[in-house]
Amino acid sequence: MRLLLISNSTNPGEAYLDYPKQSIKDFLGEKSLNAVFIPYAAVTFSYDEYEEKVNARFAEIGHHVTGIHRFINPVEAVENADAIVVGGGNTWQLVKKLQEKKLMKVIRKKVKQGAPYIGWSAGSNIACPTLRTTNDMPIVEPKKFKTLRLVPFQINPHYLDDNPANHGGETREMRIQEFIEVNRNVYVVGLREGTLLRIENNDLTLTGPRTARIFKYGDETKELSHKDDFNFLINSVLK
């Protein structure tokens, strides 16, 4: 499989998808591909607007996407695609739409066959076994929490260390500690802003200026950089 799993689309003060655009170009290559874009995580803006926003950045790297909402048969659109791109937004909404359109299995099959997969935020969430480490409010109710299961670990995009002043609630780390307490065999990657995970030929690497925080029940929490070996994550067994 070939996966590019991005924490966030935009860093403060930068244009949309600016920081990961070179990584996206390197991942997709120079040749323009038939890339299908899945905008279902959008809630407060239209799918057309989302597609246009992504294409404005992809044009700079010689690529183009077509929103899956433009196809009469979305299943066939995925089956015929050269690459699959899944945008961020609300993970619950994204999962519900993918289930309704019967796209989970066909996307998984296509990626398992070698089609490149790019996701950011919610799009990274759904590459995991479930959506249970999303930060998003459950504004809709999908049929089940299971997602694409392209990797055996969970990702928490936009991972934050800070506990804002005057905030009395749990930190992100405390929430993840709750998750691993009741899901003891599952690794969770706290993927900070400006970073991404790339999988090529069963090799997992981190790109970006920040470290990733690795959680696993019974293990000491780790901070790993782009210099470290991440392959223990893809070799972990999902039970």
How far apart, in whole angstroms, are the C-alpha atoms of residue 116 and residue 121? 17
Out of 9, 63, 69, 136, the active site residue is: 136
Beta carbons within 8 Å of 55's beta carbon, 6+ residues apart: 64, 65
Out of 7, 9, 121, 124, the active site residue is: 121
Establish whether 136 is a catalytic residue: yes
Establish whether 229 is a catalytic residue: no
Out of 158, 226, 228, 236, the active site residue is: 158
Establish whether 82 is a catalytic residue: no
How far apart, in whole angstroms, are the C-alpha atoms of residue 54 and residue 58? 6
Contacts 24+ apart (CB under 8 A), 172-179: 172/135, 173/213, 173/215, 173/221, 176/133, 176/215, 177/215, 179/132, 179/133, 179/154, 179/215
Q: Which residues are catalytic?
A: 121, 136, 158
